[in-house]
């Protein structure tokens, strides 16, 4: 299932969401060579988050295969900034486009709920929480972890708390046909979270593949943090805020607005 749009209006121009998208695209082309050749592999090794190296428990000089006969040479202790730089790197075109598409669908409304500066802090903290859980579940991993999906998962966790009943339109393939369905956000995002939990519990390739626990960590962090970041004055104008029908409109009427 691929979300193609939601029915949620936004009122602030999503400057931060757009800026994050631009920074990720710029990193992909400038730092990662659009996924080609030496710049791509160097970016993974030097700017990606390698749990064992970040914790200082890796063996200096150990070689980590990345494919095509290319290796990361571990140095024993990674720079601390890789926990942030890794949030702007990706492992391929589909990885990049999928992440940024989810950010565009859900990010503008979450930014709309708290304002621009708070959203910057919220996004970064979500990414840090995602990295922390992934490291905690596999601290010995020597595979570079890259991607914005942990931070974006935090955005999705905030979205399910703020706008659980807003309609999300999904592209759904059924055998050889493709159709669209409209479901409440809590169903779509809840289903996505269950898939991440199952993927994390039953993954058969420790240290590689999809960072399921980063997704779970970011999502839960977003749910927990959003009460401290949201701005009720901004949310009053949202027709889909909360669980009740037109909850914001009812609150305005009670105040005589």
Give pLDDT, residue 93. 94
Residue ranges of domains in the chain, CATH in brackets: 2-31+81-254 (1.20.1540.10)
Whole-model pTM over 0.85: yes
Rg over CA atoms, the chain: 19
Instruction: Please state whether 175 falls in left (phi above 0), alpha (psi between -120 and 50) or beta.
Output: left
In eight-state DSSP terms, residue 45 is H
Average pLDDT over residues 165-191: 89
pLDDT at 253: 42
Q: How confident is the model at residue 208 (pLDDT cuts 50, 70, 90)?
A: low
């Amino acid at each position: 299932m691929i979300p193609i749009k939601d029915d949620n209006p936004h009122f602030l121009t999503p400057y931060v969401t757009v800026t994050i998208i631009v920074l990720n695209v710029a990193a992909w082309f400038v730092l990662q060579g659009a996924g080609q050749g030496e710049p791509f592999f160097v970016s993974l090794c030097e700017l990606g988050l390698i749990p064992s190296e970040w914790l200082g428990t890796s063996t200096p000089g150990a070689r980590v295969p990345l494919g095509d006969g290319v290796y990361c040479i571990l140095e024993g202790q990674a720079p601390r900034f890789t926990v942030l730089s890794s949030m702007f790197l990706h492992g391929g075109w589909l990885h990049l486009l999928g992440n940024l598409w989810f950010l565009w669908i859900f990010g503008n409304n979450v930014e709309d709920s708290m304002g621009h500066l708070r959203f910057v802090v919220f996004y970064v903290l979500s990414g840090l929480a995602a990295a922390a859980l992934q490291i905690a579940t596999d601290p010995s991993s020597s595979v570079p972890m890259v991607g914005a999906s942990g931070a974006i998962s935090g955005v999705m966790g905030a979205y399910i708390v703020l706008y659980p009943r807003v309609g999300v339109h999904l592209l759904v393939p059924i055998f050889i046909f493709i159709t669209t369905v409209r479901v409440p956000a809590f169903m779509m995002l809840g289903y996505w979270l269950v898939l991440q939990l199952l993927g994390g519990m039953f993954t058969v390739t420790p240290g590689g593949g999809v960072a399921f626990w980063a997704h779970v960590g970011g999502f839960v962090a977003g749910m927990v943090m959003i009460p401290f970041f949201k701005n009720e004055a901004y949310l009053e104008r949202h027709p889909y805020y909360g669980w009740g029908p037109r909850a914001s409109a009812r609150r305005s009427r009670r105040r005589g607005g």
